[in-house]
């Protein structure tokens, strides 16, 4: 079961990368990890660094995948993002948080892109 979920997650992230490239984004990193956690995709939109969380589900029968980006998840992503900006000496650069969701009930999957999905969530 965990292996299947991992495969679905990798497939969703690859699909999200293709989608974002079509939107003109430059992909800087995928599955970026540091001590605070992981960010699925880090991209560049013009001069803005965009931290992207990817969520997917097999169907939209229950809760839409965007609702799984809870405040706790937003805090974790925010901490990883701040550490990334500091480590890459880009703290002064503009940044935002997007969410890309995929629902696999159709081919191609239904993709929803939520720009500026949340603000920096850091104490």
**Which pTM was predicted?**
0.89
How far is the C-alpha of 26 from the C-alpha of 119, rounded, in Å? 22
The answer as to whether 94 is a domain residue is yes
Domain of residue 88 covers 2-118
Evaluate whether 69 touches 62 at the Cβ level (below 8 Å).
no
Q: Is residue 67 part of a domain?
A: yes
- Give the pLDDT confidence score for residue 120 in this predicted structure: 86
pLDDT at position 100: 95
The alpha carbon of residue 117 and the mean position of all alpha carbons in its chain are separated, in whole angstroms, by 10
DSSP 59-120: -SSSS-GGGG--HHHHHHHHHHHHHHHHHTT-TTS-EEEEEEEEETTSSSPEEEEEEEEE--
Say if 11 falls within a structural domain. Answer: yes
- CATH of residue 28's domain is 3.40.1350.10
Query: What is the number of domains present in the chain?
Result: 1
According to the model, what pLDDT value does residue 64 have? Answer: 63
77 domain residue, yes or no: yes
Query: Is residue 78 a part of any domain in this protein?
Result: yes
| Residue 123 maps to a domain | no
The set of residues, in sequence order, having a beta carbon less than 8 Å from that of 69 and lying 6+ positions away, is 53, 55, 99, 117, 118
pLDDT tens per residue, the chain (123 residues)? 567 777 777 888 999 999 999 999 999 999 999 999 999 999 999 999 999 999 987 655 565 667 678 899 999 999 999 999 999 999 888 899 999 998 887 778 889 999 999 998 766
């Amino acid at each position: 079961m965990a292996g299947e979920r991992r495969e679905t997650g990798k497939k969703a992230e690859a699909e999200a990368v293709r989608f974002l490239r079509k939107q003109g984004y430059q992909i800087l990193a995928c599955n970026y990890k540091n001590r605070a956690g992981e960010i699925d995709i880090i991209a560049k939109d013009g001069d803005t660094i965009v931290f992207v969380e990817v969520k997917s589900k097999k169907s939209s029968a229950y809760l839409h995948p965007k609702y799984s980006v809870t405040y706790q998840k937003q805090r974790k992503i925010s901490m990883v993002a701040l550490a990334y900006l500091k480590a890459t000496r880009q703290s002064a650069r503009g940044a935002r948080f997007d969410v890309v969701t995929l629902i696999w009930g159709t081919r191609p999957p239904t993709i929803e892109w939520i720009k500026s999905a949340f603000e920096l969530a850091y104490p």
